[in-house]
Amino acid sequence: MLSVGINAHLLSGQAGYRRAGIHTYIAQILRRLPSDGIDYTIFTGPDVSFSAESPLSIVNSHWPTHKRGARIAWEQTAWPLENLRRKIDLLHSMAFVTPLLNRIPAIITVYDLSFMHYPERFPRAQRLYLQTQTRRSVQRAQRIVTISKAGRDDVHHFFGIPLERIEVIYPGVDKRFDPVSAEMLADFKARVNPPKRFILHVGTLQPRKNIPTLIDAFSQLPDQSIHLVLVGGKGWLYDDIFARVAELGMSNRVHFTGYVADDALPLWYQSAAMLVFPSVYEGFGLPVVEAMRGGTPVIAANTSSIPEVAGNAALMFNPHDSAELAHCMQSVLNDQALCTTMIRNGKLQAQKYTWTSAANNTAALYRSVAAQNNFR
């Protein structure tokens, strides 16, 4: 039986910004991996537990790998030894980097290359580590997984990896984002008391999310009764966001919820007038299809993977043009026929992405690499 060792240390057992896109992708795929002919060993942190459809061997490290330094040290020292001790045939790093001394055939997942496109938007040490170690890892890996065709093209462009070595495995959208009942929505609003009418952004507070442009566009809307809600934990280099809100005098109309629990997120989407997703760069952009699945109109930046993911179901805009974004938001607020069309198209678009398909494609890739290496 093929033995696959999976580094899942970016799974988070704690509420916070680390439970965002990468955590979701890893957790959802692991829960659905088919077991036919494959034995899975999942390496993760000390505070992580989850259930899955297939038997998984969970190895919780005693290292505090929620801290970046400890996680890097574990990846480079403890993980290679664990792979040898447990006789792992194939390893899968689900986050950018493989061990320097690894001698086992490897697959690596690269979610995005924002640190190559926008290096100035990352802390220096983090940027240098990701740039150098991702380059080394993808060059040595037998196959690379990206989560969009745009991401595949980036890996090819920046690192010279042949396209045939890069597999696109799209994320899915969980059923919990389906439209909820009117009673559930009313109960949520009674408990949380969100603004009566608001525009929503979902994402970690960090530079590439382009939130200052959203705030500038929001300030141009003539209707002073509309609010802006920003759902997501603090990431890094976020001070400009709060400074821009204060500078424009909109602290009473712009609301920061911080991290929102998984079960509450669909209710935030479905309470909003629209989702605005202004990122200058995304590997995929899960909030786009999560909002669409629940019937929320989406306005999104016309850049990187986002047009690929949104299809014809979103209004697209130049992420550097706040006036264009303001015009799009005004259109959604005032045109009910447009909203109806966007909602219908959005639900159809979201149906293209399933976690079961993502997990099956991942397992198929393991078998393909095993056959390439003549594993039994």
Give yes or no for a contact between 146 and 284, defined as CB atoms under 8 angstroms apart: no
Residue 314 near residue 299, CB atoms below 8 Å: yes
pLDDT recorded at residue 375: 65
pLDDT at 13: 58
Domains along the sequence of the chain with CATH: 2-172+354-372 (3.40.50.2000), 175-350 (3.40.50.2000)
Q: Measured in whole angstroms, how far is the alpha carbon of residue 200 from the centre of its chain?
A: 17
d(CA 351, CA 315): 18
- Separate counts of helices (H) and strands (E) for the chain: 15, 13
The CA-based angle 39-5-68, given to 5 degrees, is 150
For 169, the token pair is 């495995």
Provide the whole-model pTM. 0.89
Count of alpha carbons within 13 Å of 51, Cβ hemisphere only?
1
User: What pLDDT does 17 receive?
Assistant: 42
pLDDT digits (tens, 9 = 90+) for 179-216: 999 999 999 999 999 999 999 999 988 888 999 999 99
pLDDT at 73: 92
pLDDT of residue 123: 81
Give the distance, in angstroms, between the CA of residue 12 and the centroid of all CA atoms in the same chain. Answer: 14
Counting Cα atoms < 13 Å in the Cβ hemisphere of 185 gives 14
SS3 77: helix
CA R_g for the chain:
21
pLDDT (tens place) for every residue of the chain, 376 residues total:
899 999 998 887 554 444 567 888 999 999 999 988 899 999 998 877 777 777 888 898 888 888 888 999 999 999 999 999 999 999 999 988 999 988 899 999 999 998 999 888 788 888 899 999 999 999 999 999 999 999 999 999 999 999 999 999 999 999 999 999 999 999 999 999 999 999 999 998 888 899 999 999 999 999 999 999 999 988 777 888 999 999 999 999 999 998 888 899 999 999 999 999 999 999 999 999 999 999 999 999 999 999 999 999 999 999 999 999 999 999 999 999 999 999 999 999 999 999 999 999 999 999 999 998 876 5
At residue 93, the pLDDT reads: 95
Nearest to 279, CA basis, from 150, 167, 174, 175: 150
Place of tokens 């809600």: 229
From the list 117, 119, 94, 116, the residue with the least C-alpha distance to 107 is: 94
State pLDDT tens for residues 114-137.
Answer: 899 988 878 888 889 999 999 999
Residue 317: what are its φ and ψ, rounded to 5°?
A: -145, 160
Q: What is the pLDDT of residue 49?
A: 75
- Residue 280's closest CA among 120, 97, 160? 120
Question: 42, 66 in Cβ contact below 8 A?
Answer: no
Residues forming a β-bridge with 6: 42, 92
Per DSSP, helices labelled H in the chain are: 21-32, 68-73, 79-85, 114-117, 124-140, 149-159, 182-192, 211-219, 239-247, 265-271, 286-293, 306-310, 322-334, 336-350, 355-372
